[in-house]
């Protein structure tokens, strides 16, 4: 089983929709969790990061972690065309390594 | 703002050529990383460095080497380019561990 699994999509939604992006992970020792956003022809940029189980909000974005299920989610409320990007979950895997999911490509249609 | 600059946006090379990909960061970060990104495979770590002249292998180091002579510069070297090294190459830096990586815009390398 891979350390981090992420549905690659693609996901296409209308403007204003609530988007749910998800990853599962296999190692219960993972302690904190990140979401990166990558626009086309750009490098990824850190969007959110959370240490604990539960929810963390930042504007229209909410990161959720369920350690008992080894499941992390990113919700986007009132999605905008400018949210169209690839979203990657990332988990520090020890020894200065960041384990990335493969990314979910999101398109928000006006 | 932290800036990670990769020297070329697009590069076309021939099989067997020696290829240098350069990366410079301007925030005095300790750690630097080279990843490649391929459709369906995601981001894979090639090499990283946590100090000048130090380097550590990542998950897919075969066919690559790196050089870090100065803190701000981290070079990826393809000793003899092959077609299976056609990919998007991304450089990143961080101040501490992998808490927050800052990525460059990438170099799309095509090996013909």
Q: What are the pLDDT digits (tens) for B7-54?
A: 899 999 999 999 999 999 999 999 999 999 998 888 999 999 999 988
Report CB contact under 8 Å: B97, A92. Answer: yes
Report CB contact under 8 Å: B43, A88. Answer: yes
- The C-alpha of B81 sits at a distance from chain A's nearest C-alpha, in angstroms, of 23
3-class SS of residue A83: helix
Q: Sheet holding A4-6: strands in order across?
A: A4-6, A19-25, A71-76, A61-66, A54-58
Residue A96: what are its φ and ψ, rounded to 5°?
A: 60, 30
Helix (H), strand (E) counts: chain A: 0, 11
Q: Give residue B74's pLDDT band: very low, low, confident or very high (50, 70, 90).
A: very high
Residue of A48, A90, A96, A99 to mutate, testing the B interface (most B Cβ within 10 Å of its Cβ)? A96
Report CB contact under 8 Å: B56, A96. Answer: yes
Report CB contact under 8 Å: B43, A44. Answer: yes
pLDDT tens per residue, range A9-22: 899 999 999 999 99
């Amino acid at each position: 089983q891979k350390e981090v699994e992420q549905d690659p999509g693609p996901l296409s939604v209308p403007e204003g929709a609530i988007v749910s992006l998800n990853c599962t992970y296999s190692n219960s020792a993972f302690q904190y969790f990140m979401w990166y956003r990558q626009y086309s022809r750009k490098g990824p940029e850190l969007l959110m990061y959370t240490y604990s189980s539960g929810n963390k909000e930042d504007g229209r974005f909410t990161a959720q972690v369920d350690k008992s299920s080894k499941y992390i989610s990113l919700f986007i409320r009132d999605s905008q065309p400018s949210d169209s990007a690839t979203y990657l979950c990332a988990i520090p895997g020890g020894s200065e390594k960041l384990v990335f999911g493969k990314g979910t490509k999101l398109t928000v249609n006006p | 703002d932290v800036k990670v600059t990769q020297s070329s946006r697009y590069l076309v090379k021939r099989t067997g050529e020696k290829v240098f990909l350069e990366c410079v960061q301007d925030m005095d970060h300790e750690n630097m990383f080279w990843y490649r990104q391929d459709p369906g495979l995601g981001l894979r770590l090639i090499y990283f460095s946590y100090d000048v002249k130090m380097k550590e292998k990542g998950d897919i180091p075969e066919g690559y080497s790196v050089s870090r002579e100065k803190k701000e510069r981290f070079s990826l070297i393809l000793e003899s380019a092959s077609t299976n090294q056609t990919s998007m190459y991304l450089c990143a830096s961080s101040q501490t561990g992998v808490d927050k990586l800052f990525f460059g815009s990438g170099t799309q390398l095509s090996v013909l």
